[in-house]
A and B are shown apart, each in its own frame.
Chain A
């Protein structure tokens, strides 16, 4: 079968790309749209480093076909900061040193942003369960959890 033409909205911009039906959304984002923030850790939906939002739902982009993105809205890590200004979560991750090698960080940031939009006041347990599908082999998770809880507290105060 010939390539499929896909029209989609990525971080608010209308984009189009051609893909083989077997190509994943992750491959399309990285190789066709040059959005290399989402990473491939496992490619089987276990590690969460390819996390993006698809029509408002947090998903692993390695388990979505590029062709499925037709007509959908996609949010990636590249859309998180605005005009060079980091998102509060990104700032807190730096402040708390909640990353080391950084491979898992885009996925974790996208996932935690989705959590705080749904639940502005999560407990530590809720943060840990929400992030159970985001693996990090460097940090031991504690700094990540603290950065998320600290951001949530700041955002609540700012409201």
Chain B
């Protein structure tokens, strides 16, 4: 295994473009090193991005949007009052991942690029309307989070492409986000179902919404039908039922020892309702 520490993302992109064999980028390493040590994936080339300037920065832009560097760990996000106040759902989703020790290393970009359908931060980012900054040899572009997951463990990123940061839009007045997941225990587990919701109010009616689901389809998905079920409505019982129904319809889960198809599908509706209530309360306050 070759280990590189490039000093810029264009250099990192160049290295991966020209490398042969299995290539991995290393940020927090909480997936890459587990796979390496379990002999699941031993990279031929490992590109550690943490020597690149600004990868540890959380920056608020003049327009109120946020840029989170690729190596910012969960604990750093959780300690950042500004981002917590603008995007509490995103920060709560990150905080659900692993232990204190894992929070000291794991990153948003890593969670996204690992490609797990059960990734906790990805539904929250999708609901928030976040983007990833993707760098390749021809430059950089912003890609919506929902365009990154391809299938379990795979992303749509091509060879020579690397994600340098996650961008969160400016927090709109009268809006709120939330993420909930179900696990059979209280800590240290992988989502059986996850649901992210971000909504904006005009008066007491929902004017904009984004709803996402994790662990119930081969990738984390944005569920437009679920968003449509609540847009233009107050969050009453009837609307909540329509939301739950739309969320359940979008499910196509697997059965495994942590949950059956029926259970995951049912829970998707339950979590959608609960997350919507939290997001609604946050939007009102």
Contacts and interface: CB of A to CB of B under 8 A. Distances in A.
A110 to B, nearest CB: 10
B98 to A, nearest CB: 7
A58 interface: yes
A111 B102 CA distance: 12
Contacts of A46: 188
Interface in B17-31: 26, 29-30
Contacts of B101: 45, 48, 51, 58-60, 63, 111, 133
Main secondary structure on B side of the interface with A: mixed
A44 B37 contact: yes
Contacts of B186: 132
A contact patch SS: mixed
A21 B99 contact: no
A31 to B, nearest CB: 15
A43 interface: yes
Interface residues of B, number: 27
A62 B101 CA distance: 11
A132 B100 contact: yes
B102 A45 contact: yes
Contact of A68 (B48, B75, B100): B48
Contact of B3 (A4, A44, A51, A63): A4
A22 B36 contact: yes
B105 A63 contact: yes
Contacts of A116: none
A62 B46 contact: no
A87 interface: no
Interface residues of A, number: 31
Given A44-B37, A65-B29, A60 B3 contact: no
Contacts of B42: 22
B25 to A, nearest CB: 13
Contacts of B37: 24, 43-44, 62
A21 B104 contact: no
Nearest to A63: B33
A130 B36 CA distance: 27
Interface in A84-143: 111, 114-115, 129-134
A9 interface: no
A68 B100 CA distance: 19
Given A45-B30, A129-B187, A64 B105 contact: yes
Contacts of B30: 45, 63
B2 interface: yes
6 contacts: A45-B33, A57-B104, A129-B187, A132-B100, A132-B187, A133-B99
Given A62-B37, A132-B187, 7 more contacts: A44-B34, A59-B105, A65-B48, A129-B187, A132-B99, A132-B186, A133-B99
